[in-house]
Amino acid sequence: MSLTSAPVRRRSRMPIVLVVVLVIAIAVAVGVANGGFGVFGGGAASSAGPSASVPGLVPADPNVVAEGRAVPASYSEISVASGGRVVNVPVAEGDTVAAGATLLELDHAAADAAVAQAEAGAAAAAAAVTRAEAGVDQAKAGVSQAQASRDAADAGVDQARAAKRIAQAAYDALPPGTPDATKRQVSAQIDQASAGISAALAQRSAASAGATAAQAGLRAARAGLAAAQADAARAAAAADQARAARDALVVISPIAGTVVSLTPKVGDLVSPGPVVVRVADLGAWRFETSDLSETAIARIAKGAAATVTVDGLPDAEIAGTVSSVGGYGAAFQGDVVFKVVVVPSGEVPTGLRWNMTVTIEITGTTGG
């Protein structure tokens, strides 16, 4: 028995083509009604700014959204001034500390010995200054004594000369007929006065030499004092430096706050440079962003309102205000970016932590 299959009927595609043509026609009509498309209408499309109102379009949002981070308003990132082994860590992360509190200590046995040696040198230098000062006082006394001797010698010369004048006057006053014996006696007095003058002059010369020597001694004593004082100043500076080096082995907190991070443990070796302790006042916060472009920064003004959301605390929104707008653009990955700081004007949620990622939406200006 042979079976004959019925012919298969092909479905017509014409309705689909008609629908496509109809859609294109409607689109062209709508484009012409709204001012024309650049292709179909022959005119250039108008450029809409953030505040432009174009029929059929939603105006551009002038607000600026950027990523940032939460930062304590007051904090300190501390590194050691010199390397060494940690011998004491009296605090732990989460502790509240006062300004000046010890955070950790490095081994300072060698530094203590250096301080003791430097302080002994400073004490010896100070004693040398005291001795030099006494030498100056003694030299001054010697100058005074030598000057007194010189003055006395001057007076002796004056007296000897006066004695000779008197003897000479007595000789000149002898009347005629004075016996020769008397004349010889008065003449002997004149010779004696002359000898006295010579002796007084010699004494004055010796006194002058003594005064000169005393002055030289005083100058030398003063020079010695100046040298001793210079030595003492150097020794004192060395002692101060040694104490400062020892003090640098004790890391203290410059602010009051909470120990947020503490890396070293007792026995660890630390070196200058890396941060070892962070202390922050967690009672006040700010939010910083540095990824705002040149076009975005132009729409931000100090005092603008902002809303901050924290990635790790998605249920909280923090009202804020722009406190500063960066005036310097830094090159970053081929772009120029600016820093903006927002301070909260509302409550900050519990659980906010340093360096948490935040999203900052700032009410921007639309320009002219």
pLDDT on residue 61: 59
315 within domain boundaries: yes
Same domain, 150 and 240: yes
Same domain, 353 and 296: yes
Same domain, 128 and 212: yes
Same domain, 286 and 326: yes
Look at the chain and report how many structural domains it folds into: 2
Place of tokens 């105006």: 59
Mean pLDDT of all residues in 206-213: 91
Which residue among 223, 247, 271 closes a domain?
247
Place 334 in a pLDDT band, splitting at 50, 70 and 90: confident
Mean pLDDT of all residues in 111-117: 96
DSSP classification of residue 81: S
Q: What is the CATH number of the domain that holds 178?
A: 1.10.287
Which residue among 247, 278, 300 closes a domain?
247
Q: What is the CATH number of the domain that holds 290?
A: 2.40.30.170
Q: Which residues share a beta bridge with 70? A: 287
Angstrom distance (rounded) from CA 298 to CA 366: 9
Angstrom distance (rounded) from CA 333 to CA 289: 15
Handedness of CA 277, 281, 285, 288 (dihedral sign): negative
Which residue among 222, 247, 272 closes a domain?
247
Angstrom distance (rounded) from CA 325 to CA 345: 17
Same domain, 238 and 200: yes
44 within domain boundaries: no
Q: Which two tokens stand for residue 303?
A: 């005092």
Least confident of 94-98, 113-117, 209-213, 232-236: 209-213
Same domain, 139 and 233: yes
By residue range, what is the domain housing residue 274? 64-106+258-362
Same domain, 203 and 77: no
312 within domain boundaries: yes
pLDDT on residue 364: 82
Residue 310 parent element (H or E): strand 305-310
pLDDT on residue 9: 36
Burial group, residue 228, by CB count within 10 angstroms (0-12, 13-18, 19+): buried
Same domain, 240 and 288: no
Task: List, for residues 266-291, the tens digit of each pLDDT value.
Answer: 999 999 999 999 999 999 999 999 88
pLDDT on residue 13: 39
Q: Which two tokens stand for residue 52?
A: 């432009």
What mean pLDDT value characterizes the chain?
83
149 within domain boundaries: yes
Least confident of 48-52, 113-117, 130-134, 324-328: 48-52
26 within domain boundaries: no
273 within domain boundaries: yes
Task: List, for residues 160-171, the tens digit of each pLDDT value.
Answer: 899 889 988 988
DSSP classification of residue 300: -
Same domain, 90 and 124: no
Residues belonging to the chain:
368
DSSP classification of residue 45: P
Task: List, for residues 52-104, the tens digit of each pLDDT value.
Answer: 444 444 445 578 999 999 999 999 999 998 889 999 999 999 999 999 999 99
pLDDT on residue 48: 36
Place of tokens 């002059």: 201
Same domain, 114 and 91: no
Same domain, 184 and 230: yes
